[in-house]
């Protein structure tokens, strides 16, 4: 369970939440221009573009959940159960394993336009990271300041959908999520107008009635609707910081531990939330155990070795002393 939002209101920000039943030791990983990433079936030119994002390092290989490169192109991988279908290697195609797609796009493409062209012959293969890590069913959102696309590898092939809403959650596929929005076109942040009766004018007894019916559960379809609504009906914070606004939106989509319980009794929670500021090249994040916003700047462009910053879970509370 995850939610990703691409927002071009003033400056391009890319936010995502990772909702899982446990943490896998995630960190913020910077990949410099000379790092050698060995793809199973393809190659890229070196030096490539530097990137930063959240993920885990397995056997020296960075497994990115999301990221941003030095040109402000962003990408995220979200769970796509019961829909994702991967293939064997195909001649004449761009063959990428599911865990290779994010680094390939961000290391080799400057813009969304370049990413569209690069992925036009994409084939997502069933290669695993290792014997202990089989491929995860995923779909992807890629965006920059010009727009967003969603990449979905399914039984009938790879689909690249334009995504004017700039929102992605989990299964089902994007076209269904977009069609489902039709049932919520009447939602508004303003007070509703009476259209139900000519004889009686119902009392507008509470603020927020314009959005009555906005789904509040944690299903992928409900989170999609809620994310689209909030993206289009929220304003910058008092300081004018759009990063703060994005975190407020993402907070409304976060899952408290236990709000979703799996068959084995474990609770799902929002492990981390990130916001990539593509103008300043800063990757901001919070975690379930520490809600203070922290930031890592993409400024280590040269070199050949990965660097990482651990995602701390200890709540960092700033205490204030009362005046004497």
- Catalytic residues, by residue number, are 2
pLDDT tens-place string over residues 190-202: 998 888 888 998 9
pLDDT tens-place string over residues 290-324: 999 999 999 989 999 999 999 877 888 888 888 87
CATH architecture of the domain with range 2-171+239-310: 4-Layer Sandwich (3.60)
pLDDT tens-place string over residues 211-227: 999 999 999 999 999 99
pLDDT tens-place string over residues 239-254: 667 899 999 999 999 9
Q: Is the dihedral of CA 255, 56, 262, 141 positive or negative?
A: positive
Rounded CA-CA distance 26/5 in Å is: 20
pLDDT of residue 74: 98
CA dihedral 54, 57, 58, 61 (to 10 degrees): 100
Query: Looking at the predicted structure, is the pLDDT value of residue 125 above 90?
Result: yes
**Cβ-based neighbours of 91, under 8 Å, separated by 6 or more:** none
DSSP-assigned beta bridge partners for residue 102: none
Rounded CA-CA distance 99/81 in Å is: 15
Report which secondary-structure segment, H or E, holds 248. helix 242-251
- In the chain, % helix, strand, coil (3-state, to 5) comes to 15, 30, 50
Contact assessment for residue 90 and residue 123, using Cβ atoms and an 8 Å cutoff: yes
**Cβ-based neighbours of 323, under 8 Å, separated by 6 or more:** none
**Cβ-based neighbours of 196, under 8 Å, separated by 6 or more:** 202
């Amino acid at each position: 369970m995850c939610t990703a939002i691409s927002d071009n209101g003033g400056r391009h920000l890319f936010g995502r939440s990772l909702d899982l039943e446990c943490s896998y030791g995630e960190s913020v990983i910077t990949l410099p221009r000379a790092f050698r990433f060995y793809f199973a079936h393809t190659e890229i030119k070196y030096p490539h573009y530097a990137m930063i994002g959240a993920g885990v390092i397995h056997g020296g290989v960075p497994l990115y959940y999301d990221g941003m490169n030095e040109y402000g192109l962003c990408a995220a991988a979200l769970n796509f159960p019961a829909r994702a279908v991967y293939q064997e290697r195909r001649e004449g195609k761009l063959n990428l394993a599911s865990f290779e797609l994010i680094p390939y796009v961000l290391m080799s493409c400057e813009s969304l336009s370049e990413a569209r062209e690069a992925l036009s012959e994409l084939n997502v293969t069933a290669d695993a990271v290792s014997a202990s890590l089989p491929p995860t069913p995923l779909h992807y959102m890629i965006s920059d300041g010009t727009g967003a696309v969603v990449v979905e590898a399914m039984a009938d092939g790879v689909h690249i959908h334009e995504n004017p809403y700039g929102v992605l959650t989990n299964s089902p596929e994007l076209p269904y999520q977009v069609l489902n929005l039709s049932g919520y076109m009447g939602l508004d942040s303003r007070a509703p107008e009476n259209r139900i009766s000519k004889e009686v004018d119902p009392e507008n007894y509470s603020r927020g009635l314009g959005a009555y019916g906005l789904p509040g559960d944690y299903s992928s379809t409900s989170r999609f609707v809620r994310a689209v609504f909030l993206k289009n009906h929220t304003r910058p914070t008092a300081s004018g910081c759009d990063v703060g606004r994005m975190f407020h939106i993402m907070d409304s989509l976060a899952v408290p531990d236990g709000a979703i319980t799996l068959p084995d009794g474990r609770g799902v929670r929002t492990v981390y939330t990130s916001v990539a500021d593509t103008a300043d090249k800063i990757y901001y994040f919070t975690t379930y155990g520490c809600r203070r916003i922290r930031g890592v700047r993409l400024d280590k462009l040269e070199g050949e070795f990965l660097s990482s910053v651990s995602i701390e879970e200890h709540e960092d509370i700033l205490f204030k002393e009362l005046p004497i």
